[in-house]
Copies of this chain bind each other. A is one copy, B any other.
Amino acid sequence: MMEQKQEMHEFINRGDEHFMAHISLDCVIFGFHANQLKVLLLKIRHDDRWALPGGFVLKEETMEEAADRVLNERTGLNDIFLRQFHVFSDIHRSNTEKFLELMRSEGIVVEENNWLTKRFISVGFYALVDYEKAIPAEGWDSEACEWFDLDNVGELILDHNKIIGAALETMRRQLNFLPIGYNLLPEKFTMPELQKLYETILGKTLDRRNFQRKMLAYGILDRLDERRKGGAHKAPYLYKFNLEQYQKALKEGLQGGW
Contact = CB atoms under 8 A, between A and B. Distances in A.
Interface residues of A, number: 24
Contacts of A64: 89
Interface stretch (A19-27, A126-134, A211-219): A19-27
A257 B121 CA distance: 34
Contacts of A60: 91
Nearest to A61: B91
A98 interface: no
A84 B84 contact: no
Contacts of A119: 20, 59
Copies in the complex: 2
Nearest to A58: B91
Most buried by B among A59, A60, A87: A87
A210 interface: no
Nearest to A63: B89
A90 interface: yes
Interface in A25-73: 57, 59-64
Given A60-B91, A63-B89, 5 more contacts: A21-B22, A23-B23, A57-B89, A63-B87, A87-B123
